[in-house]
Every structure is written in structure tokens, then in C-alpha cells.
Amino acid sequence: MASGRPETAAEGRLSRLLDSPVIGMTPWIAMSVLVGPGRYELAVGVSLALAVAIVIVGRIRNPGTSFKILEISDVVFFAAMAVIGIFASPGTHRWLENYSGELSNIALTVIALGSMAVGVPFTLQYAREQVPREFWNSPSFLRTNYLITGVWGAAFGVAALAGAYGDLVLHDANNLWTGWIIQIAAIIVALQFTRWYPDVARARSLRERGLPGPPEPPLSSMLIPLAGYLTPVGIVVLAFNAGPTWLGIALIVAGVLLVKSLNRPSAAEPDAGDRA
């Protein structure tokens, strides 16, 4: 750090978060979650403010670094959405309230696929700031970034399809399942994969080269938050009558049991006494 003092664990976690592509996707996540009838200005305003803040903080923390594809896309897209909203006719404004969530989800999917098509998956620019230059062109490093970028593209593609189904088929932009539950689940999967897979790829790379290193994190560590998500979904189903009572109860029970099961050490993992 610039002060010369050692970085604390909390500061290290914050630094890794700020250097993660997840930060660049927070404006899109905010738009996906917040937008809806009567909330267009709020969603676009929050998303644009986040996009601008990300660029400013990034330049303050790392002066001289180049702008990233995702950073530029964030600012350009949400600034355009804000300007369109200001000058839109009442009919266009109603259309934006109903469909801008799907539009933003589709836009990020296109950005993800487009960045992969030109050979620069958008997570690559973040990852290169965290690993030595000699690894930048390694097949494992490139494959990891293609996979993570693809997962984010798929997650927002799922969110777009869910929102479109709610708007066009159910004619209910505020449907809990299509507007919130499914879209949030897709984002949780992408977030967890982004956190989990780089450690898997790193462990495999070390093992293939015969070098010592930590074991691969188990798949359960990625699935636990998604399993835990079932319990609040079940509570929401019961509280808002978003499905039959049995479904809400089943989701709560399944969430609790799955988290307990996934947290259980596997037989292959030594306990603390064995490691000692």
C-alpha cells in the first residue's frame, strides 16, 4: 500500500473486490433488480451513478491504467438510457418502464458475447491486473476468462428471458418469479462461479505442473449460497402468496437441508485432527 503499512485482511478483501469484474457489473445488476413500472428514473439514475463512480474510483486507485470495455459500456449505455428517458414521449416512457430491464440484460449479454468474439472477454482486463504478465497468454488463464465472461453473458440472458416472459406472456412486470426470483438466482450463480472457478483453475494448473498448492475448492462451496437462496424464496412465496403453500414450505425445507448437506465435510476431506 502507498502508506507502507501492511494491508489488513479486510483491506485485502476490499481491494480484490474493487479489482473484480463483479464491480463493473454492479450497474447492470442494479438495473436488472430495480427497474419496473414507476421505477425507470430510479433504476437508471442508480445505475449511471454507479457506472461513473466505478470509473472515478478506478482511476484514483490505479492512475494510468487503461479504461476497460465494461467500464466504458456501463457509462455509455446508462447515460444514453438517461437521455432517452428525459426526452421520451409518454408512450415511449411507458415502454421503457416495461422493457428497459430486458433491454439492459440483452445489452450485457451482447457485450459479453461480443468481447469473447473479438478475443478480449471483458473479465480478462480485470484478471490481468491481478496476475503476473507471464501468465497472460497461458491457455488456462485465457480459458478461465472465457468461461467466466460466458457465464455472466448466460446469466443476463436468462434474466432477459425471464423478464420478457413476465412482460410479454404474463403481462405482469412485477411478477415475483420472472421479475425478481429467477433473475436474482441467475446473478447469484454468476457471482459464485466468478469467485469459485479461478481457484479451481489455479489448483489444476499447479497440479498439472507438479507444483505444491491448495486443493481445488469443492463444487459445494459454489452451490451453498444458491441452496441458501431457496429458504428466503420460500418465505417470499408464503408472504406474498406467490405460489401454493406447499411450494413455499418445500423451498424453505429444501434450502435448510441442502445447506446443511453441502456444509458437511466429505469423506475425502481430512478433519482438523487428521491434518494436525
pLDDT tens for 65-99 read: 778 888 999 999 999 999 999 999 999 988 998 88
> To 10 degrees, what angle do helices 182-208 and 219-239 make?
170
- In SS3 terms, 219-276 reads as HHHHHHHHHHHHHHHHHHHHHCCCCCHHHHHHHHHHHHHHHHHHHCCCCCCCCHHHHC
pLDDT tens for 125-162 read: 888 888 888 888 888 899 999 999 999 999 999 999 99
pTM for the full model?
0.83
CA distances for 236 relative to 104, 105, 166, 260, angstroms? 26, 24, 18, 21
